[in-house]
A and B are shown apart, each in its own frame.
Chain A
Amino acid sequence: MGNNKHHKKVHPPRWADRFLEWYCASGLLDEIQGDLHEVFYTRIEKYGARKARWLFVKEVLLFCKPASFEKNTNTQYIILSGMLQNYLKIAWRNTLKSKAFSLINVLGLAIGLAACFLIMQYVRFELSYDTFHENADRIYRVIRENENSASQTPSATNHPGAGPNLKADFPEVEEYARIVHQSIFWSDMTAWSYEDERGNVEVFNEEEVYNVDPSFLMMFSFPFVYGDPDEAFPNTRSVVISETTAKKFFGAEDPLGKTLMVNGQAPFTVTGVFQDVPENSHIKFDILLSFFLNEGWGGGWDNNWSWKWPEFFTYVKLSPQADPAALEAKFPDFMQQYVGDRMRETNSKEGMALQALTDIHLKSPNLDKEREVHGSEQTVYFLVIIAVLILIIAWINYINLSTSKSMERAQEVGLRKVAGASRYQLVTQFLFESAIVNFLAIGVAFGLVLLALPYFNQLVGKNISSNIIDLILINESWFWLTLAGVFLLGSFLAGLYPAFVLSSYRAASVLKGKFFRSRSGIFLRKALVGSQFAISVALIAGTILVFRQVSFMRNQDLGYAKDQLLVVESPRVGDSTFIQRLETFKTELKRNPDIYHMAPTSEVPGKLISQMNFIRNRDEGTEANIGIYHFHIDQDFIHTYGLTMAAGRNFREAEHLLPPDEREKNPVPVMVNEKVIELLGYQTAEEAVHQLVYFGLGPRDWEGEIVGVVENFHQRSLKTAYDPILFFPASGFPRQYFTINLSMDQPTETVDFIGEQYKEAFPGNQFNYYFLDDYFNRQYAADQQFGQVFGLFSGLALLVACLGLFGLSTFMISQRVKEIAIRKVLGATLSSMVYLFSRDFVRLIIAANLIALPLVYLAVQRWLSNFAFQVNIGWVIFVIPAALLLIISLSTVSFQTIKTGSINPVRSLRQE
């Protein structure tokens, strides 16, 4: 290396040389760089290039010390570090000087941020639905579109033949899986029992029982605790249960191989246990069976049934390169092939569509036959908007509070300027303070979120995150990025304006005690407060409306006496003696004077009726078919529910017990509600009585005679219009519920009495009951929650806005201390001054209302359009927010004015 010929070409490391030139003072560069270069070349000869370079770098770094720096830079460096310490000290002193004020400032920001974080977390949770499945992006639900159904909304379920035929016909369909609730083959609820070795029997009524294709557990990712998802169903007698269900029946014992009895009759062997279905799955189940293994299940999959039983949730997994839109385009031909004949025959149209798995929860409307009420994208975006609004309010608040503090800081600014502070330095100082406040606020916000989380979980009714470590958010980089964004934006945007205002004071006038007040500054502040008011008005009005609509729905007369109706689930474990036992039960109940009526039915109000079919006038063709719901009742139904007959008669005693051959001869007596009459085209209910109709029930058509018309009542929540219902007296109909009309004088005793009688009449069954109004109102749980969440965040927004108002009024009054004193000296009364100062705020509030209310009106209309029965928007929602704001702001301003006005004018005027 020590080659003379080469050493000219070897250079000291460029970057080190550059670095040296950068830091080194120009006066010293000659000697330092010169010496280093000279010694570098001698060292090459002595030690070789590598070591010379290394020594060069080492010495460049050794030279890098204050003594080598430019003298100017040197002082600036010292000033910078010194000033930072000073800024920190001043910020700390200012914080301590006015503790209440600082508290308001940090707290206002923190509350806003905390509200934001909570909402973000909720939104994140809602968006996470079904994303945990490994193949989530390839799984689609096949939904069914039917123009002839009672409602025009597509159905979430499909024919049993759809899945297998899709897989057979289209290569891009890798796998299909069907899942169907037990209500289709058993009933809404079944009794499951386990008898241990000592003969103790545990019975539980299970609701979430589904029948699935074995492929279901392979297509979706539901992890197993015991057993293997690929071999979960060796035969139709195997059952797979959730971890919680397993614990309920078997405690700590190994559940595999244990036997469970359904309704005391059919034994099933546990072949697998899966982890409880997570909260963010759109379909939730506790027990899975697979009757599909039996080729002939449900009457055989011949063409009669496989395309005539649209009750099956059907999922398909497409191959990775498949295009769902292209597949959908082939569906019309596919439908022609399988149900074309029927469509031509009945002049109806039936179609299918693919729904991405991850879209089901949020991005699709609630379809018919859905098992669970899905979230609404609208609500989620509504909450996001609220979060943003709260953040804006909090930031405006901070801006206002900081500028109002500038009065106290003006002298400091003046002195700094005199001492040579540049505007740039002052802006840096205040941005620095802003960053500190934002940092503190974020810290406090985190604390608030952790404290509020359990309550928030309760409020939204979902376990968004069970503990601190679990916080889904914290583990995700996007959250930290957002947080950093909020921090920087908050520090910068919220800090910039106060920084510029503060730094714009002219030193001389400030120190003389005069302040330069720009009109534009005042206008900006007013605009900011005005927008705070507008946001508050909108949020308050929205909250009031949501609460009004929910209470309207809860209190509306439903057409029956829901307050005194008790629903008892009918026994699941039973035998042929059921009818007899039921009669005994009825007779026993009638002995109690507090029990008025009792009616066994297939349905109760408060839910979607599960059986659907069609009806048409007898003289019309199948093209006139109207979709209707089937409600099986007997003669006691009308009395029990206290319904009114619009025309005709009730069913007669034992009319439902007519033998089948009797029915073949004569038209079956049926009752319908007013909605059906309207759809059939009759003007009045009387007209419809004794008219003959055809209606479908099961696989065949029946001829019926309308014997009575029942007044419309609310079968489902007031979100939906009246359902068209056909009441049918059938022998041996599925009596799922007993509804009991009882006196509310001593409900507890009466319910106890019913329970005793029930246990006696139907031994071995669980006595499950609920009051109908509770059951009915659970339909509003989501709306109520929305109202509460909305109310909570509106309240928080209002609180933060109030803090801002307080800050602004303090600011405005403090600028006018002398004015107040002079007015007072000249004889102004306190009340005239309160009037003078609140005038501005009243104007602001009026302006804010004018801007906000039309927007609120539009938003509110849009929200109300989700409901078939709507509350009147009414003047209340426009008056209350305005009045509330007026009261809050006037009391704040008056308080400040009176406080300042009560000071002895001499004291205010003397300070110069």
Chain B
Amino acid sequence: MTPNLGNLEESVLLIVMILEEAYGVSVADAYEEKTGNTISIPAIHTVLKRLEEKGMLRSCMGEATAERGGRRKRLFEATPYGYSVISQIRKTRLQLWSLIPKLDLGNG
């Protein structure tokens, strides 16, 4: 059984995996860049927190930087569980996609 993961949560989890330094602003930027949709900082924070509560992310406080008014960043990275969930989702999706008869899977 695949754990229940919303669309936004899935995207954010993937972005955290992609990014070298994943924290609120960078995730939001990446999200906007990759999907073309805008998103607010509080929304990103909520999603990150939720994913952390589900055990798919873990976080630690980064170093203080001048450009943020001296405030530190909370840096996120995916946990092994997070990776396994993502690959499970991928597997399920691929299976489902392969069953679609009329869908041409990107071969031209």
- Chain A: residues with CB nearer than 8 A to chain B? 29-39, 41-42, 55, 58-59, 62-63, 67
Q: Which of B23, B42, B68 contacts A37 (CB 8 A)?
A: B68
Q: Which residues of A contact B71 (CB under 8 A)?
A: 29-31, 33-34, 37
Q: Which residues of A contact B58 (CB under 8 A)?
A: none
Q: Contact between B72 and A33 (Cβ–Cβ < 8 Å)?
A: no
Instruction: Report the minimum CB–CB distance from B39 to chain A (whole Å).
Output: 11
Q: Contact between B42 and A34 (Cβ–Cβ < 8 Å)?
A: no
**Residue B15 interfacial (CB < 8 Å):** no
Q: Which residues of B contact A42 (CB under 8 A)?
A: 25, 29
Most buried by A among B23, B40, B67, B69: B69
Which residues of chain B from 42 to 57 have any CB-CB distance to chain A below 8 Å in the complex? 42-43, 45-46, 49
* Apart from the given pairs A37-B71, A39-B28, A39-B41, 10 other A-B contacts in the complex at a CB distance below 8 Å: A29-B71, A33-B71, A34-B68, A34-B69, A35-B23, A37-B69, A42-B25, A62-B43, A63-B41, A63-B45
Interface SS majority for chain A:
helix
Q: How far is the CA of A38 from the CA of B43 in the complex (A)?
A: 16
Q: Which residues of A contact B73 (CB under 8 A)?
A: 30-31, 34-35
Q: How far is the CA of A736 from the CA of B40 in the complex (A)?
A: 97
Which residues of chain B from 1 to 53 have any CB-CB distance to chain A below 8 Å in the complex? 23-25, 28-29, 40-43, 45-46, 49
5 A-B pairs within 8 Å (CB atoms) are namely: A35-B73, A37-B71, A38-B67, A39-B24, A59-B42
Q: Contact between B41 and A36 (Cβ–Cβ < 8 Å)?
A: yes
Specify the chain A residue showing the minimal Cβ separation from B69: A37
Q: Contact between A39 and B42 (Cβ–Cβ < 8 Å)?
A: no
Instruction: Report the minimum CB–CB distance from B29 to chain A (whole Å).
Output: 8
**Residue B74 interfacial (CB < 8 Å):** yes
Q: Contact between A35 and B69 (Cβ–Cβ < 8 Å)?
A: no
**Residue B61 interfacial (CB < 8 Å):** yes
Q: Contact between A31 and B67 (Cβ–Cβ < 8 Å)?
A: no
Instruction: Report the minimum CB–CB distance from B25 to chain A (whole Å).
Output: 5
Q: Contact between B40 and A31 (Cβ–Cβ < 8 Å)?
A: no
Q: Contact between A31 and B45 (Cβ–Cβ < 8 Å)?
A: yes
Instruction: Report the minimum CB–CB distance from B74 to chain A (whole Å).
Output: 4
- Chain B: residues with CB nearer than 8 A to chain A? 23-25, 28-29, 40-43, 45-46, 49, 61, 67-69, 71-74
Q: Contact between A35 and B45 (Cβ–Cβ < 8 Å)?
A: yes
Specify the chain B residue showing the minimal Cβ separation from A62: B42
| Nearest 4 interchain pairs by C-beta | A34-B71, A35-B24, A31-B74, A62-B42
Q: Contact between A39 and B25 (Cβ–Cβ < 8 Å)?
A: yes
Instruction: Report the minimum CB–CB distance from B72 to chain A (whole Å).
Output: 5
Q: How far is the CA of A67 from the CA of B73 in the complex (A)?
A: 18
Q: How far is the CA of A388 from the CA of B3 in the complex (A)?
A: 73
Q: Which residues of A contact B46 (CB under 8 A)?
A: 67
Specify the chain B residue showing the minimal Cβ separation from A34: B71
Q: Which residues of A contact B61 (CB under 8 A)?
A: 30-31
Specify the chain A residue showing the minimal Cβ separation from B27: A35
Specify the chain A residue showing the minimal Cβ separation from B44: A35
Q: How far is the CA of A35 from the CA of B42 in the complex (A)?
A: 9
Most buried by B among A29, A33, A38, A59: A38
Q: How far is the CA of A59 from the CA of B53 in the complex (A)?
A: 22
Instruction: Report the minimum CB–CB distance from A53 to chain B (whole Å).
Output: 14
Q: Which residues of B contact A36 (CB under 8 A)?
A: 41
Q: Which of A29, A59, A67 contacts B40 (CB 8 A)?
A: A59
Q: Which residues of A contact B23 (CB under 8 A)?
A: 31, 35
Q: Which residues of B contact A39 (CB under 8 A)?
A: 24-25, 28, 41
Q: Contact between B72 and A34 (Cβ–Cβ < 8 Å)?
A: yes
Q: Contact between A41 and B67 (Cβ–Cβ < 8 Å)?
A: yes
Instruction: Report the minimum CB–CB distance from B80 to chain A (whole Å).
Output: 24
Instruction: Report the minimum CB–CB distance from B99 to chain A (whole Å).
Output: 41
Q: How far is the CA of A504 from the CA of B74 in the complex (A)?
A: 49
Q: Which of B43, B49, B72 contacts A67 (CB 8 A)?
A: B49
Instruction: Report the minimum CB–CB distance from B41 to chain A (whole Å).
Output: 5
Q: Contact between B42 and A31 (Cβ–Cβ < 8 Å)?
A: no
Q: Which residues of B contact A58 (CB under 8 A)?
A: 40
Q: Which residues of B contact A55 (CB under 8 A)?
A: 40
Instruction: Report the minimum CB–CB distance from A39 to chain B (whole Å).
Output: 5
Q: Which residues of B contact A35 (CB under 8 A)?
A: 23-25, 41, 45, 68, 73
Q: How far is the CA of A63 from the CA of B42 in the complex (A)?
A: 6
Q: How far is the CA of A766 from the CA of B40 in the complex (A)?
A: 93
Q: Which of A33, A59, A63, A67 contacts B69 (CB 8 A)?
A: A33
Q: Contact between A38 and B72 (Cβ–Cβ < 8 Å)?
A: no
Instruction: Report the minimum CB–CB distance from B61 to chain A (whole Å).
Output: 7
Instruction: Report the minimum CB–CB distance from A720 to chain B (whole Å).
Output: 86
Q: How far is the CA of A186 from the CA of B42 in the complex (A)?
A: 93
Most buried by B among A29, A36, A58, A67: A36
Q: Which residues of B contact A63 (CB under 8 A)?
A: 41-42, 45
Q: Contact between A30 and B41 (Cβ–Cβ < 8 Å)?
A: no
Most buried by A among B25, B28, B41, B69: B41
Instruction: Report the minimum CB–CB distance from B26 to chain A (whole Å).
Output: 9
Q: How far is the CA of A32 from the CA of B28 in the complex (A)?
A: 13
Q: Which residues of B contact A67 (CB under 8 A)?
A: 46, 49
Instruction: Report the minimum CB–CB distance from A43 to chain B (whole Å).
Output: 10
Q: How far is the CA of A32 from the CA of B61 in the complex (A)?
A: 12
Q: Which residues of B contact A41 (CB under 8 A)?
A: 67
Q: Which of A30, A37, A59 contacts B74 (CB 8 A)?
A: A30
Specify the chain A residue showing the minimal Cβ separation from B29: A42
Q: How far is the CA of A37 from the CA of B28 in the complex (A)?
A: 14
Specify the chain A residue showing the minimal Cβ separation from B68: A34
Q: Which residues of A contact B25 (CB under 8 A)?
A: 35, 38-39, 42
Instruction: Report the minimum CB–CB distance from A335 to chain B (whole Å).
Output: 85
Q: How far is the CA of A35 from the CA of B71 in the complex (A)?
A: 8
Q: How far is the CA of A58 from the CA of B42 in the complex (A)?
A: 10
Q: How far is the CA of A127 from the CA of B77 in the complex (A)?
A: 79
Specify the chain B residue showing the minimal Cβ separation from A55: B40
Q: How far is the CA of A62 from the CA of B46 in the complex (A)?
A: 11
Instruction: Report the minimum CB–CB distance from A120 to chain B (whole Å).
Output: 54
Q: Which residues of A contact B69 (CB under 8 A)?
A: 33-34, 37
Q: How far is the CA of A38 from the CA of B28 in the complex (A)?
A: 12
Q: Which residues of A contact B68 (CB under 8 A)?
A: 34-35, 37-38
Q: How far is the CA of A846 from the CA of B21 in the complex (A)?
A: 88
CB within 8 Å for A32 and B67 given contacts A39-B28, A42-B25: no
Instruction: Report the minimum CB–CB distance from A479 to chain B (whole Å).
Output: 48
Q: How far is the CA of A880 from the CA of B79 in the complex (A)?
A: 92
Instruction: Report the minimum CB–CB distance from B46 to chain A (whole Å).
Output: 8
Q: Which residues of A contact B74 (CB under 8 A)?
A: 30-31
Q: Which of B28, B29, B43, B72 contacts A31 (CB 8 A)?
A: B72
Instruction: Report the minimum CB–CB distance from B90 to chain A (whole Å).
Output: 29
Q: Which residues of A contact B72 (CB under 8 A)?
A: 30-31, 34
Q: Which residues of A contact B42 (CB under 8 A)?
A: 59, 62-63
Most buried by B among A34, A37, A42, A55: A34
Q: How far is the CA of A59 from the CA of B24 in the complex (A)?
A: 13
Q: How far is the CA of A35 from the CA of B21 in the complex (A)?
A: 13
Q: Which residues of B contact A32 (CB under 8 A)?
A: 45
Q: Contact between B24 and A31 (Cβ–Cβ < 8 Å)?
A: yes
Instruction: Report the minimum CB–CB distance from A125 to chain B (whole Å).
Output: 60
Q: How far is the CA of A42 from the CA of B49 in the complex (A)?
A: 23
Q: How far is the CA of A362 from the CA of B89 in the complex (A)?
A: 92
Q: Which residues of B contact A33 (CB under 8 A)?
A: 69, 71
Specify the chain B residue showing the minimal Cβ separation from A36: B41
Instruction: Report the minimum CB–CB distance from B20 to chain A (whole Å).
Output: 16
